[in-house]
Structure 1
């Protein structure tokens, strides 16, 4: 028997010798952030105690060696045939201006085709969706890509159900995400699926990013949409002020005074610049504010969210959500809020 003075045994550390291999494909002209964004998210798990096997990252290209990205930086890669297609847990195909050339790369596309049925999970970032589409694996499935290329993806592959507004889409074991930074959201969602919400939140905090912009959520916020319409940025400062004073009485006279115009001139100019009436613009920004509060779950009830977002009452907010998003605030929270 051990003596009474013996120290209690330390718990055995987790066995990290077994890991899930994440293979990220690289090619000349790949978008750097399409690779580095997800890779940084996955790599962050190294510093976290996990309830199961972690990840190992492999960067693969046709012949291996240094591969130039779209910004000129090089990525050191291993040859594609150094990893057996059956050794891959998660296959990630990034995008970039060089994506169009890989279709004629028989060796690379052949390896991808062999890995697809064997991998537990397959993912594309941005234009990487086209590489998956060429293999036929997206036929009959929902998919996302960069908003600029959604029409091209849909026209070229009518069997795919392209979701033009989605940040990312998960259809069975096939994942796809929108442009560049959306790969970070996709990677966080994969970690959440594998290790739970708490671990994913830990990673997000370490990287100082939001836990997720949920899949199915629009690639554009109301603020971005308004900025895109107001090409000269005439009302950028006003929109920022509205958000900071979202619970105030934001009538046309108040907004016009802030913009330095008469109410009549302001109303006419605002419509011409943004495509919305001032009242619609304020309502859209209130929906945006409420949407973020609902996602974060920092505010307990829908009634309180309505007050914080300047709607006054939850029924007014409900009608605004149906107009702008097609769902009620409660439905939006149930679908998109983190656990």
Structure 2
């Protein structure tokens, strides 16, 4: 028996959030016609629904959707902040989720699941740009901005846009095994498991801006001089504070210890050097203040779960 997949769309939804998973499930259905998937689009207002890029799709009525649901998947899009206030949409998602085997979201579609109360006390992810907002708006939700997707019980959430493909492949693997998921991935010419998390694509995970002007100046100094002596004694002396007082105040006002902030700043410098220069790894390590290639490698693996060489191959600018 085919597994019924309902994808919730709305005016202004992100087309790739819908089309990526739909193609994964559709390809799997071609390979498993008897027990694959049947994809249906649903929306509050049935009929034509226009995505954020102007492409129009046809959806059935969310309010009239009934019967067994294997997977309820909610797309994201730039219009999600408006859709969160749509009580009919949120109630419809909650109603269908109650009878679905599992629920999933792509990108900031997680906000719609959260508004429906489906993410309370669960670990979830969303697009790195809005992860902080999701965390502050829904304080019962545990947000992790790095993974491409997260499974927490019968709720799956995925990160930005094309991570919906990663999520759908993981669902196919769970349902039918990795061999089928691998065949689908090869057919679509995508990774079955992409290395790293979405932080490798994001802007740096910055600390808070300190309230204190001297600490703001010190923060700017750290970012501008990664190869300088940025030890706690040196930074405390520059801030004209005792080491203990400096460490406490810096951590309170930035949310990071001095050592953690310095490492992040140096890692970000190294990342920029890898992307825009052809410097060898030992020079990148030296100029970013990380010292040795071994440290550069260790820091990259810790922050972005990829090696410096892999990052350079993926993101290096061709215009140097």
So what's the TM-score if we normalise by structure 1?
Answer: 0.64
Q: Is the 8 A contact 1:222 1:284 kept in 2?
A: no
Residues 32-58 of structure 1 deviation map (CA, whole Å, 9 limit, x = unaligned): 1111111111110132146x6111010
Aligned partner (choices 275, 279, 294) of residue 236 of structure 1: 275
What displacement does 1:280 show? 6.0
Aligned to 2:165: 184
Pair 287,98 (structure 1): closer, same or farther in 2 beyond 3 Å: closer
1:113 to 89, 94, 106: 94
- Identify the match of residue 34 of structure 1 among 11, 14, 17: 17
| Structure 1 residues 277 and 35: CA distance shift in structure 2, 3 A | farther
Out of 18, 28, 31, which is 1:45 matched to?
A: 28
Tell me if the contact between 2:300 and 2:306 (Cα under 8 Å) persists in the aligned partners. Answer: no
Other-structure match for 1:336: none
Asked if structure 2 preserves the Cα contact closer than 8 Å seen for 1:23 and 1:92, the reply is yes
Taking the aligned partners of 1:163 and 1:125, their CA distance within structure 2 comes to: 14
Deviation at 1:155, TM superposition (A): 1.0
Question: Per the alignment, do residues 235 and 190 of structure 1 end up closer, same or farther by CA in structure 2, a change over 3 Å counting?
Answer: closer
Q: What corresponds to 1:72 in structure 2?
A: 54
For residues 297 and 77 of structure 2, what CA distance do their matches in structure 1 show? Answer: 37
CA contact (8 A) 2:123 2:141 kept: yes
Report the alpha carbon displacement of residue 276 of structure 1 after superposing the two structures with TM: 4.6
Corresponding residue number in structure 2 for 1:22: 5
1:221 alignment partner in structure 2: 200
Q: Deviations over 1:65-105 (max 9, x none)?
A: 11111111111111223421x43210001111111222332
Instruction: Report the Cα distance in structure 2 between the residues aligned to 1:81 and 1:222, rounded to whole angstroms.
Output: 37
Matched residue SS, 1:148: coil
Q: Deviations over 1:243-286 (max 9, x none)?
A: xxxxxxx544xx7xxxxxxxxxx94xx32xxx755636752598
- In the aligned structure 2, how far is the partner of 1:221 from the partner of 1:233? 12
Q: Is the 8 A contact 1:223 1:285 kept in 2?
A: no
Residue 223 and residue 159 in structure 1: after superposition, are their counterparts in 2 closer, same or farther (change >3 A)?
Answer: closer
Determine if the alignment matches structure 1 residue 60 to structure 2 residue 99. no
Which ranges in structure 2 are unaligned for 5 or more consecutive residues?
Answer: 205-264, 311-320
* Shift in CA distance, 88/233, structure 1 to aligned 2, threshold 3 Å: same
For the 8 Å contact 1:65–1:76, the answer to whether it is kept is yes
Structure 1 residue runs without a partner (length 5+): 1-17, 243-249, 256-265, 294-307, 310-339
**In the alignment, what sits opposite 1:283?**
297
Are 1:143 and 2:115 counterparts? no
SS at match of 2:59: strand
| TM-score of the aligned structures, taking structure 2 as reference length | 0.68
Does the CA-based 8 Å contact 2:128-2:202 persist in structure 1? no
User: What count of residue pairs does the alignment treat as equivalent?
Assistant: 247
Give the CA deviation at 1:292. Answer: 6.9
Q: CA RMSD in A?
A: 3.3
Does 2:181 correspond to 1:167?
no
